[in-house]
Structures are given as C-alpha cells and as structure tokens.
Amino acid sequence: MIAYNNTNRGGLIRTVIFIAVILIVLAYFGLNLRGIVASPTFRDNWKFVSGLAMTIWDKYLSVILAFIWNHLISPLISKQA
C-alpha cells in the first residue's frame, strides 16, 4: 500500500489570498487591469509571447514529449495491462 504524506495543505486558500493581495496592491497604486490589458502595447507583447510559446511547443517540446510518451511511458502502461 502506498502512503501519501500530504504536507501541502491549504494551497487553494493560499492562492486565493495571494491573488486578493495582488489585486489590493494594484488598486492601491491606481493600476487598472482592464486598461492595461486593452492597451495596444500589451496586446502586441501578448501576441509576440504567445506566438513564441507556440513556436517553441510546435518545433521542440511536442517532438520531445511525443518521443517520451511513445517510447517510454506507453510501453510501460501497455505491459501492465
């Protein structure tokens, strides 16, 4: 039997509190998230970063992960069944 030692309790609550604190700090400094996201500079930067991430995924990571899945993980799963 496998015993799980779950010492990371409250992760969701901690994340919600962290996001709330970030939003409070942004509001304190007068930053408007809707204005930031709607700005042409942010949209241009977002388009660049997402395009770069898609290129890295398509050219490099998907090939490596497909190899790992097809040659290492999938044979192990099929042998256990």
In 3D, which of 5, 24, 21 has the Cα closest to residue 13? 21
The pTM of this model reads 0.55
CA 19/CA 53 separation, integer angstroms: 24
Q: What is the pLDDT of residue 10?
A: 73
pLDDT digits (tens, 9 = 90+) for 24-80: 999 999 999 899 999 999 999 999 999 999 999 999 999 999 999 999 888 888 876
CA 78/CA 70 separation, integer angstroms: 11
Q: What is the pLDDT of residue 1?
A: 52
- At 3, the pLDDT band (50, 70, 90 cuts) reads low
Q: Residue 9 above 70 pLDDT? A: no
CA 56/CA 62 separation, integer angstroms: 9
